[in-house]
Amino acid sequence: MAAINYLLGFVFDALLMVLVVRVWLQLVRADFYNPLSQFVVKVSNPLVLPLRRVIPGFGGVDVATLVLAYLVASLKFILIPLLNGGGVDVISAMFLGLLYLVKQTGVLLFIIMLVMALMSWVVQGYNPTQMIFQQLTDPVLRPIRRIIPSIGGLDLSILAAFLLLNVLNILLSDWIPYWAML
């Protein structure tokens, strides 16, 4: 049963990350013709397009994809306990789904910045994935770069963002009882 739980958790997490990246790409107005953007759109279209017929966008935000991401996050806390023989508490699952969506967005930001930092050491020249990652992280890193400029060509803004994300994670785990378990 542990293997099934692991696989289901992976599927929910992967789908959630793709949906979050789709919303994020639209919010930062990233290059739609980038191969990574095309992958995210093509993978998520079968789920998003039918929901878009019912839920329109609002203020430049793809509300249908956001609602779908929330439903996927909440469904994880309904389906996995149900398969393990536990009871289903829909209200708790909806609350945990919202928390999980927020936490996974922070985890995704952390992963993208980590990969971006590693790519900066290895990749020479233009790389389409690196360009998308820069477009995704620029709204977060730009304010930090205003405070901490590059020192000798070394960009410390990612390190500062890592520290801020970890501090925020620690504070939220102190304030919200279920945060550390997600």
Condensed to tens digits (0 to 9), the pLDDT of residues 107-134 reads 999 999 999 989 988 888 888 999 999 9
pLDDT band at residue 61, thresholds of 50, 70 and 90?
confident
The predicted model gives 41-62 an average pLDDT of 92
In angstroms, rounded to a whole number, what is the distance separating the alpha carbons of residues 93 and 71?
A: 10
User: Is pTM, for the whole model, over 0.85?
Assistant: yes
pLDDT over 70, % of the chain: 100
In angstroms, rounded to a whole number, what is the distance separating the alpha carbons of residues 131 and 28?
A: 12
Per-residue CA distances from 122 to 113, 119, 180 (Å): 14, 5, 34
pLDDT at 181 over 80: no
The predicted model gives 97-105 an average pLDDT of 94
